[in-house]
Structure 1
Amino acid sequence: MKEFNRINREVVYKGAILDFCKDEIITPKGKNVKWDYLKHKGAAAVIPVMEDGRIIMVRQWRNAIDRFALEIPAGGKESIDEPTIDCAARELEEETGYVADKIEFLNTIVPAIAYSGEKIDIYVAFDLKKTKQHLDPDEEINLEVYSVSELIEMILNNEINDAKTIAAILTYYHKYINNNN
């Protein structure tokens, strides 16, 4: 395939967690086009697996959808250079009040591939130890615990619509639970 060439990227708005950019692109056919681009420093998410196999989920208010959402713990990297495994471990403790003796990489998703550079590395946390939640001042998070089968049922019933959570739970199921079938 022929290349698309970005000839300019202008930041038109700098936000707290993302920058809104206008890109100027030359297509393989020589056409000059303008595309929107959201610049994001990246994020990490984690599936906290309890000793009995159930998963700790967080329910929190999401302004973009104007309601509470059930999700796996996640958050943005503090800097572009922060390793995502460190971000995942930090978010695990901040949001759930647990630390893990073992954290394994699961997958990477790009939740809005058409217009955003955000990448979320997803991890699985095992051997959890209870500590204390360290919520941000604007966070209100309730913890809920579910079996993998309950979470899959909630995904299929459209009760969970968060892309990172859906990708994480289904990948976890196929990699760790149903890997012999």
Structure 2
Amino acid sequence: MSDDPLAWETLDSDIAYTCPGFDVRHEDVRLPDGTETDFDYLSEPESVAILPFTEDDDVVVIEEWRQAVSRISRGLPVGGVEPEDDDLASAARRELTEETGYVADRVTHLTTVEPANGIADSVMHYFVAYDCVPTAEQELDYNESIRSTTTTLDELKAEIDGDGVYDGRTVLAVSYYELSRADENDIGADG
């Protein structure tokens, strides 16, 4: 237990519901004021999201059926880290190839976030993949309906700005990528 006075104490923890991809965890907790209550949250493996650029600097995007919102969602390849992955970069490469059929020449870490830490223990690692070429077949999971295509970064940003891309992981990846590029330009201007 943390020594921070804001920390909650976990008294008991178990899985209330499990399915492929995530669990719902139920915990009995004691709040800082001594109140005992319960708390439920979504628990899932760490994931990777990939912003892939082709050799021509186009962005590889996917269009995927999303049952929770009953529509096709346009975004970036994303998937769970698996036990056989050597490291997070390997997971990013694998997910890129599985979902798009593209293979990256190199990948670099962009950022890591907890996208919904009030209701989930999710951790999302973002990568940028460079010089991607379509050299493989998609290897989709049984419950994935995905097609891949390409667009320019400017077109993708315009889609995001025009409310044409709702996938938060994609919005964050593109936004953070643009921020990191702006930081690089600022460093170059100052140096």
TM-score relative to the length of structure 1: 0.91
- 8 A Cα contact 2:27 2:39, kept in partner: yes
For 1:169, the equivalent position in structure 2 comes to: 174
Contact 1:109 1:164 in 2 (8 A): no
- Equivalent of residue 27 in structure 1, options 15, 31, 34: 31
1:15–1:82: structure 2 CA closer, same or farther, 3 Å change rule? Answer: farther
Structure 1: distance between partners of 2:99 and 2:182: 25
1:157 maps to which of 158, 162, 167: 162
* 5+ residue gaps, structure 2: 187-191
Aligned AA (1:20): V
Change in 2 beyond 3 A, CA 1:11/1:81 = farther
Distance 1:111 1:32, change over 3 A: same
- In structure 2, which of residues 105, 113, 116 is the aligned counterpart of residue 112 of structure 1? 116
Partners of 2:86 and 2:123 lie apart in 1 by 13
For 1:145, the equivalent position in structure 2 comes to 150
Q: Matches of 1:5 and 1:97 in 2, distance apart? A: 46
- The match for 2:189 is none
Shift of 1:28: 1.1
CA deviations over 1:10-62 (Å, ceiling 9, x no partner):
11112111111111121111111211111111111111111222211000101
Give the RMSD, CA atoms, in angstroms. Answer: 1.9
Q: How many residues align?
A: 181
CA contact (8 A) 2:113 2:123 kept: yes
Q: Provide the identity percentage.
A: 29
Return the index of the structure with the highest Cα Rg: 2
Q: Which runs of 5+ in 1 are unaligned?
A: none
Matched to 1:161, the amino acid is Y
